[in-house]
Structure 1
């Protein structure tokens, strides 16, 4: 039973007596457990709700009386706002905000966060406005609630687009105030706990989203307790049969291994008693999902998973962690290669512990985790431990600083990403739970996702280092930029001022920061190139009208500024740069824009200049043909492409197609694809010519028929190399048993004369039966 915003405003303005009357009528029509009891407005409200808030109040004993009063006011407001709303289970809706606030209270969040938790659905479901919340509870609380509100009022073309935009809004709010994501994780955790009443398809969608996004965020912020529970609940709803099977296997194993666990625990407690080292020993069991994931990733049966059970040891001080490790290693033999020191080198989310795996007297592997009480608090609560420290009066550690670094990286990614789906993609990439730990030459430690490369390392140092990276050394040896880094590597990056990001880097970088920085640079570079090409095309098209392109833009003053303002209004462009980019990308036809500009110039009294119309082939300002012809010399960027269908090279007759949004695509004049495009879209074609001295080599396709035998590829490669050409790509096909094989090669040549020389050299090879250039 959802209410409209209008209904809400009516209720929010009703006096207490009217609310009581409404509640009395509801109580006559509905069972008691379905009422949403505003305890402050109606003392005879639902006992369920009264006890629920009483339980929350018991958890808030760390707040002072003034804060508690504010929380109670927020509860009353939320209770009234959700009056008449029910969850899918049939419970009053107010039970959900109270439960979310209770989870936040377990983390000892402040009064503002508890108020926002109680009202987190008020704007989204009840039509409450942000100004209303600011007036009643202050700007900080309203900002928190707004950050938690999805963008349901906007229209998106797909559900995925809307989800991505809402997620981006939440993460941006979270980067400004981490309490947003803590409340959101508490909200998602309670929803997952109570999701049985939902339809199966909705359960699956929410569980998948939780497993892909919210559980990794909880892990990234060090909220390991919430992370494990979110994973477990998601797995149970996504794969109920598999969850049940593994859960039963764990239960059976628990019974079989009880004697082992009891014996190990007694041995450990006795050893520490003899060493006179106080310690808290507790058993630890792997979650069902982590066991299932290990079975899948390593192709193991359940019986082969050795570390289902383990122990956690909590000691008093940091030095005692290493003393405890010595006691354990004297008690049982350690397994080689299974020791990890996360105290000296913490995980990216601030987690610190010593991990060691020992062989028990019965031959089974048992994992131990050793940490101090403060480390245990951070291990379970992560960035939320910051408030727990404050509540206990203890000094915080650097654990939350690592989470803050990741939040800052989200802002960096957002600054370079305008598309919400792309932003979500970058964030998902950045949520890898496994990390490698590498060192700079100055011994600074950096945590990177597993599979990260020197390019990721360079961008982690600084965006300028990444943009100008040309080579890298790992442990003093030169390596390729796509080399995967391993923990303990010392990485050194070489840069050059003239270097720039390579689009091929996007194929192997693993961090969202590196990927977003590279894409941002390439987009900017493409925009600048498109703008230059648009300026050139419009100037040439205007010369064909006998006029020169006027200077200035719409931002200045005078007649030229008025002219550009009129042209931009006609073309629906924001500024001169946008207009030129659209022309360069083929979204606007230069000849049509030129005719409009000529008309505007004519209204000002400008007349075609005979000298401009009859000028020679080249003009002094840019050494380009005057009559609308674009010169191709190989130095063009992403906005000028050579068509892959015909792969033209200097010497071929060529023509240019201004693809809509693709920039200028150069085709050979006899290309079949070009002819079909010309019939369909004749206005998009412009004249192009090769420069007299191109600046680079060009790729073209060659087909070579060879007889099968030893050393055939070596002969072909030697012939191409002898003609001073390069093989860029080679495809041999799948027919290995035949007497002949057709080699399809992509080779780089200077022009048609150079290609002819390569073909003649290939024909002279004894194993070559036929060779020809391939088009199409």
Structure 2
């Protein structure tokens, strides 16, 4: 275990003004609190906090962060309390230790709903002090380095959690080295055979090709020296998980991978980045489509570098990154560069961005998410994607995740622009809205005032911002439609008992049902969550209980069955009185009544013993036989209301209503209507067909069955 004076020496190497006394006190307090506790490896537990603190010194972090690392498990695992730490080390450190404790207690591998809520808490904690997540990430890194001492089921759980949450979070915060190591450590647990296979391939490749990295590094250095560019050149083989991911994405074997080696050129002034790029491209052939300039278009976490891939020695492809020393510091430390110290003061790095800006942006976007699934989708999209840079017609740069479409581009400019999008032009050419945008393209969005978001846009959009805005708009549109439909259904239901659906009556009914507003009641009626009939019954119970007419009772409606036999109308054909019917015995489970022309009857041709000859009881039948009608109607104000009134005028009740297709100019919907018999159904269909805004009305049968004769269709304009 690193001794306290050695730890202080590590801090003093970059911060001569460090408060050594504070670190000694924290070291002694942590050692006392963890005294007697052991890790699974058999080492004293306090070795872990000390190692975390040591790893943080490599990132040149301030004293408060180092002390927090030493104390980060005290509140959770010892008798120490927040108040005691605050009294000994101050409010700042106590708050950070408490923040790390809360992050540790989040069960990030639990159910999706709970995971979404934990992610919200995680980002809230990060927003208060980002050093908290630096300590937590480093804590996870040390735990993953020593994961072999855990129980096997715990190893898998921690590896999944690291791969899905902590590794991409480290990468999103610019700490790419940590992301790569966390991914590779997780990979070694989750798929050790694949990792071992890749390492063996590397060993074979090195035996066959020799020290490729040293030879290519020398080649680059020679070319840069000739151009009189001072630079340091570093090369390495890519990590096994990075290789595995490329093999999976491209669906190719190891032998077909080209750029398994990466090289980094670190120069002095900014201009030397482009000079070095020219040298590389003059000496080696560049690979088309593999050039990215993150200097002129930096990433949101401050990352700047030029990436290019060239065909190097022996035709092998190699990736080359070119950056200055300041850019390299940000690229290596990411968010930690914001707190880096040099000579006892905060190091000034013009490329280090305030990561709180990114967190504020993410929190603003996530606050727009209305449910857990939407929030998780936004988190994963924001954390896992790389970026492309496109231009508006005026030349403004728009940053989008890889795979973004013109829909995402429109919503990134303004929600109003997104809602009104009707078409897009990319580099002057009209393209479909599902087109994937590429770096450097100019995008023009064509809008129309009458346009509104479509359901299909959810699948087209890739950004959390666009998806959230589309869902909110669609939900608002559906609610408005439900309110309109609910008002018409309520009006018809009230009229049946001789009452009017006044605002006061609706408010009273809403209050009695526990709803705050009459609009909520109407929306519930329109969405079939509450029936209009039950609302009337709630207000006027004496009127709603209409005595039965001399109708045929349900148990007497069928002739040919035992009086005690149970029967059901087949949902596939929904037979009604007046139609020829046949029964199919269900071997002790009652009888299913089908229309004689139901196509499903062919399934029972070889089972004649199950057929029962039936007929409807003569006489007046109650309007209790639900039949589904399929309608195509104009998307215009008042149309749906008029149809509901027409059906009500035929003394038929609407039991349910479902929209199956919504287009800018028409709706396709299914309406369950309760009728007496065949003639009653015929009257309902004819009444609906007289409405000029009804383009089609027919009796709906289950998919795969043929239509019955009752139908009325007109060509849609």
Alignment match, 2:217: 265
Query: 1 CA distance for matches of 2:78 and 2:220?
Result: 56
Please name the residue that 1:327 is paired with: 279
1:369 correspondence with 2:367: no
Contact 1:104 1:186 in 2 (8 A): yes
Contact 1:148 1:170 in 2 (8 A): no
State the Cα distance separating 1:227 from its structure 2 match: 1.1
Matched, 1:58 2:62: no
Q: 1:425 aligns with which of 369, 377, 386?
A: 377
TM-superposed CA distance for 1:490, in Å, is 0.3
Secondary structure (helix, strand or coil) at the match of 1:60 reads helix
TM-score, length basis structure 1:
0.66
1:541 Cα deviation from its structure 2 partner: 4.9
- For the 8 Å contact 1:653–1:669, the answer to whether it is kept is no
Q: Identify the residue that residue 571 of structure 1 maps to in structure 2.
A: 513
Distance 1:305 1:578, change over 3 A: same
In the other structure, the counterpart of 1:754 is: 714
TM-score (norm 2): 0.71
Q: What's 1:205 paired with? A: 157
Structure 2 counterparts to residues 165-176 of structure 1, below 5 A: 165-176=117-128
Change (3 A) 1:158 1:196: closer
8 A contact 1:455–1:466 mirrored in 2 = yes
CA distance 1:478–1:363, change in 2 (3 Å): closer
- Deviation at residue 400 of structure 1 after TM alignment: 2.5
Whether the 8 Å contact between 1:224 and 1:380 is mirrored in structure 2 is: yes
Q: Deviations over 1:399-432 (max 9, x none)?
A: 525x555423422332222433431222112233
Residue 319 of structure 1 deviates from its aligned partner by 0.8
* Residue 657 of structure 1, aligned match among 648, 655, 662: 655
Aligned partners of 1:323 and 1:280: how far apart in 2?
A: 14
**SS of 1:273's equivalent?**
helix
| Structure 1 segment 500-519 matched on structure 2, within 5 A | 500-519=452-471
CA distance in 2, matches of 1:539, 1:314: 76
Question: Measured at CA, do residues 264 and 700 of structure 1 come closer, stay the same or move farther in structure 2, by a change above 3 Å?
Answer: farther
Say which SS state the counterpart of residue 353 (structure 2) adopts: helix
1:612-631 maps to which residues of 2 (within 5 A)? none
Asked if 1 retains the 8 angstrom alpha-carbon contact of 2:107 and 2:115, the reply is no
Q: Find the counterpart in structure 1 of residue 671 from structure 2.
A: 667
1:4-26 deviation digits (Å, cap 9, x = unpaired): xxxxxxxxxxxxxxxxxxxxxxx
Aligned residue for 2:602? Answer: none
User: Partner of 1:520: helix, strand, or coil?
Assistant: helix
Contact in 2 for aligned 1:455/1:509 (Cα 8 Å)? yes
Tell me the residue number matched to 1:20: none
Residues 1:395 and 2:379 aligned together: no
Whether the 8 Å contact between 2:108 and 2:118 is mirrored in structure 1 is no
CA distance in 2, matches of 1:279, 1:382: 22
Distance 1:697 1:351, change over 3 A: farther
- List per-residue Cα deviations over 1:327-379 (Å, max 9, x = no partner): 33444454555443332233454332223344445443343322111111122
CA RMSD, aligned part only?
4.8
Give the CA deviation at 1:224.
0.8
Q: Give 3-state SS (helix, strand or coil) of 1:428's partner.
A: helix
- How far, CA to CA, are the matches of 2:384 and 2:331 in structure 1? 17
Q: 1:166 & 1:661 partners in 2: Cα distance?
A: 36
Tell me what 1:459 maps to.
411
Say whether the 8 Å CA contact 1:633–1:691 is kept in structure 2.
Answer: no
Distance 2:105 2:285 in 1: 62
Distance 1:702 1:364, change over 3 A: same
Alpha carbons 1:67, 1:111 under 8 Å: kept: yes
- Range with greater deviation from structure 2 (317-326 or 261-270): 261-270
Deviation of 1:175 after TM superposition, in Å, equals: 3.9
Match of 1:312 in 2: 264
CA contact (8 A) 1:219 1:433 kept: no
8 Å CA contact 2:659–2:669 kept in 1: the answer is no
- SS at 1:455's partner residue? helix
Question: 1:442 matched to which residue of 2?
Answer: 394
Distance 1:254 1:413, change over 3 A: same
Q: In the alignment, what sits opposite 1:182?
A: 134
Shift of the alpha carbon at 1:196?
A: 1.0
Q: How does 1:2-17 map to 2 (within 5 A)?
A: none
- The alignment partner of 1:501 has SS state of coil
Aligned match of 1:488? 440
1:70-89 correspondence to structure 2 within 5 Å: 82=34, 85-89=37-41
Pairs within 5 Å for 1:573-652: 573=515, 578-597=520-539, 635=635
CA distance in 2, matches of 1:666, 1:140: 62
Deviates more, 1:462-471 or 1:652-661: 652-661
The answer to whether the 8 Å contact 1:439/1:489 transfers is yes
1:242 CA displacement: 1.0
Compared CA separation, residues 393 and 154, structure 1 to 2 (3 A):
closer
Note closer, same or farther for the CA distance 1:180–1:259 as it changes in structure 2 (3 Å cut). Answer: closer
> Matches of 2:403 and 2:196 in 1, distance apart?
33
Is the 8 Å Cα contact of residues 695 and 714 (structure 2) preserved in structure 1? no
Deviation string, structure 1 residues 38-87 (Cα, Å, up to 9, x no partner): xxxxxxxxxx4xx4544443333356878555555555665565555444
Distance 1:175-1:511 versus aligned 2 partners, 3 A rule? farther
Is the Cα contact below 8 Å between 2:412 and 2:465 reproduced in 1?
A: yes
User: Displacement of 1:317 after TM fit?
Assistant: 0.7
Question: Does the 8 A contact of 1:211 with 1:230 survive in 2?
Answer: yes
> Which residues in structure 2 correspond to 1:87-98 (within 5 Å)?
87-98=39-50
1:222 corresponds to 2:174: yes
Question: What SS class does the counterpart of residue 189 from structure 1 fall into?
Answer: helix
Contact 2:40 2:149 in 1 (8 A): yes
2:451 to 499, 502, 513: 499
CA distance in 1, matches of 2:409, 2:172: 19
* Inter-CA distance 329–489: structure 2 relative to 1 (3 Å threshold): closer
The 1:132–1:699 alpha-carbon spacing in structure 2 relative to 1, beyond 3 Å, is farther
Contact 2:406 2:435 in 1 (8 A): yes
Displacement after TM superposition at 1:316 (Å): 0.7
CA distance in 2, matches of 1:701, 1:536: 22
Q: How many residues align?
A: 606
Q: Secondary structure at the match of 2:331?
A: helix
Aligned to 2:252: 300
Partner SS, residue 380 of structure 2 = helix
Long gaps (5+) in structure 2: 545-630, 661-667, 679-684
Structure 1 runs not aligned, ≥5 long: 1-47, 554-559, 609-630, 642-647, 676-686, 704-730, 732-741, 759-776
SS in 1 for 2:40: coil
